Chain A
Amino acid sequence: MANDNRKKSLGERLVFPELVKGYAVTLKTFASKPSTMQYPEERWKMATRYRGYPKLVMDDQNEAKCVACGLCAVVCPPNAIELQAGETDRVKERFPVDFKIHMGRCINCGYCEEACPKAAIEMSKMYELNTTALDDMIYSKEVLLQDY
Chain B
Amino acid sequence: MPKVTIDGREIEVPKGTTVLQAAEALGIEVPQMCYHPGLSIVGVCRVCLCKAKGNPKMMPACATQVADGMEIEMYSPEAEKARRAVIEFWLLNHPLDCPVCDQGGECPLQDIAFDHGPGVSRLNDAKVKKAKRVDLGPHVILDEERCILCWRCTRFTQEISGSNQIMLKDRGVYTTVGTPPEVTLDDPFSGNVVDLCPVGALTSHDFRFKSRVWEMSSSEGVCTACSVGCNTYVWSKKHKVERLTARPNEAVNDYWLCDRGRYDIGFVNDSRRLLRPRMRVDGVLTEVEWPDALKALAAGLRPAAGKGPHPAGALFTRHLANEEYWAFQKFLRGTLGSNHLAAGRQEVLTPARAALAKSKLLLDGVTGLEQVDGILIVGGDLEATHPVLSLRVRKAVRRMGVKLFLATPEVGHLDEEATLAERVPAGETAAWLGTLAGKLKAGGEAAGLAGALRGAGRLAVVVNAGDGNAAVAEGMAAFLGSAPDGGAWRALFLDEGGNVAGAMALGVSPRYFPGHRPVVAEAAHALKSRWGGRVSGEPGLGWDGILAAAGRGELSALLLVNSGRPAGWNFTEAEREQLAKAPFVAAFDLFGEEVESFAHVILPTPSFAEVDATFTTQDGLVQLARRNIVPKVPTSLQTLHHVVSMLGGKMKGPEPIDVFRELARDVPQYAGLDYGKASRAGARSEPALVGAGS
Produce 1/0 per residue, B87-100, CB < 8 A to A: 00000000000111
Contact residue among A74, A87, A117, A118 (Cβ-Cβ distance under 8 Å from B214): A74
* A85 and B100 alpha carbons, distance in the complex (Å): 10
Q: Is B100 a contact of A93 with CB atoms below 8 Å? A: yes
Q: Is A118 a contact of B99 with CB atoms below 8 Å? A: yes
Stretch at the interface among A27-35, A63-71, A104-112, A123-131: A63-71
* A43 and B212 alpha carbons, distance in the complex (Å): 41
CB distance from A84 to the nearest CB of B (A): 8
Q: Is A70 a contact of B212 with CB atoms below 8 Å? A: yes
B269 close to chain A: CB less than 8 A: no
**Chain A residues near B104 (CB, 8 Å)?**
69
Interface residues in B193-220 (C-beta closer than 8 Å to A): 208-212, 214-215
Produce 1/0 per residue, B118-137, CB < 8 A to A: 00000000000000110000
The CB with the most chain A CB atoms within 10 A, among B99, B210, B211, B212, is that of B99
Produce 1/0 per residue, B382-414, CB < 8 A to A: 000000000000000000000000000000000
Nearest B-chain residue to A87, judged by Cβ? B209
**Chain A residues near B211 (CB, 8 Å)?**
85
- Contacts A92-B100, A117-B98 hold; do A69 and B212 have CB atoms under 8 A apart? yes
Q: Is B208 a contact of A87 with CB atoms below 8 Å? A: yes
Give the B interface residue count (CB, 8 A). Answer: 13
A141 close to chain B: CB less than 8 A: no
Interface residues in A71-95 (C-beta closer than 8 Å to B): 71, 73-74, 85-87, 92-94
* A108 and B209 alpha carbons, distance in the complex (Å): 28
Give the A interface residue count (CB, 8 A). Answer: 15
Q: Is B215 a contact of A70 with CB atoms below 8 Å? A: yes
* A145 and B208 alpha carbons, distance in the complex (Å): 25
* A135 and B99 alpha carbons, distance in the complex (Å): 30
CB distance from B12 to the nearest CB of A (A): 45
CB distance from B105 to the nearest CB of A (A): 9
Q: Is B132 a contact of A85 with CB atoms below 8 Å? A: no
Q: Is A94 a contact of B212 with CB atoms below 8 Å? A: no
* A67 and B99 alpha carbons, distance in the complex (Å): 7
Q: Is B215 a contact of A67 with CB atoms below 8 Å? A: no
* A106 and B211 alpha carbons, distance in the complex (Å): 23
Q: Is A86 a contact of B99 with CB atoms below 8 Å? A: no
Contact residue among A74, A94, A117 (Cβ-Cβ distance under 8 Å from B209): A94
Q: Is B215 a contact of A93 with CB atoms below 8 Å? A: no
Produce 1/0 per residue, B209-233, CB < 8 A to A: 1111011000000000000000000
The CB with the most chain A CB atoms within 10 A, among B98, B132, B209, is that of B209
**Chain B residues near A70 (CB, 8 Å)?**
212, 214-215
Nearest B-chain residue to A86, judged by Cβ? B209
CB distance from B94 to the nearest CB of A (A): 15
Q: Is B208 a contact of A67 with CB atoms below 8 Å? A: no
Nearest B-chain residue to A69, judged by Cβ? B99
Nearest B-chain residue to A118, judged by Cβ? B99
**Chain B residues near A94 (CB, 8 Å)?**
99-100, 209
* A118 and B97 alpha carbons, distance in the complex (Å): 10
Q: Is A117 a contact of B208 with CB atoms below 8 Å? A: no
Nearest A-chain residue to B143, judged by Cβ? A93
**Chain B residues near A71 (CB, 8 Å)?**
99
Q: Is A93 a contact of B214 with CB atoms below 8 Å? A: no
- Contacts A74-B214, A93-B132 hold; do A85 and B99 have CB atoms under 8 A apart? no
CB distance from B235 to the nearest CB of A (A): 15
CB distance from A16 to the nearest CB of B (A): 74
The CB with the most chain A CB atoms within 10 A, among B132, B208, B212, B214, is that of B212
* A74 and B132 alpha carbons, distance in the complex (Å): 27
**Chain A residues near B133 (CB, 8 Å)?**
93
* A67 and B104 alpha carbons, distance in the complex (Å): 13
* A74 and B99 alpha carbons, distance in the complex (Å): 13
**Chain A residues near B100 (CB, 8 Å)?**
67, 69, 92-94
* A92 and B132 alpha carbons, distance in the complex (Å): 10
CB distance from A82 to the nearest CB of B (A): 9
Nearest A-chain residue to B104, judged by Cβ? A69
Q: Is B214 a contact of A85 with CB atoms below 8 Å? A: no
Produce 1/0 per residue, A29-49, CB < 8 A to B: 000000000000000000000
Nearest A-chain residue to B212, judged by Cβ? A70
Nearest A-chain residue to B213, judged by Cβ? A70
* A117 and B110 alpha carbons, distance in the complex (Å): 15
Q: Is B212 a contact of A93 with CB atoms below 8 Å? A: no
* A73 and B104 alpha carbons, distance in the complex (Å): 15
CB distance from A107 to the nearest CB of B (A): 21
* A71 and B212 alpha carbons, distance in the complex (Å): 9
List 30 A-B pairs, Cβ < 8 Å.
A67-B100, A68-B209, A69-B98, A69-B99, A69-B100, A69-B104, A69-B212, A70-B212, A70-B215, A71-B99, A73-B215, A74-B212, A74-B214, A74-B215, A85-B209, A85-B210, A85-B211, A85-B212, A86-B209, A87-B208, A93-B100, A93-B132, A93-B133, A93-B209, A94-B99, A94-B100, A94-B209, A117-B98, A117-B99, A118-B99
16 additional A-B residue pairs with CB within 8 Å, beyond A69-B98, A87-B208: A67-B99, A67-B100, A69-B100, A70-B214, A70-B215, A73-B215, A74-B212, A74-B214, A74-B215, A85-B210, A85-B212, A86-B209, A87-B209, A92-B100, A94-B99, A94-B100
List 5 A-B pairs, minimum CB-CB distance, nearest first.
Answer: A69-B99, A70-B212, A94-B100, A117-B99, A85-B209
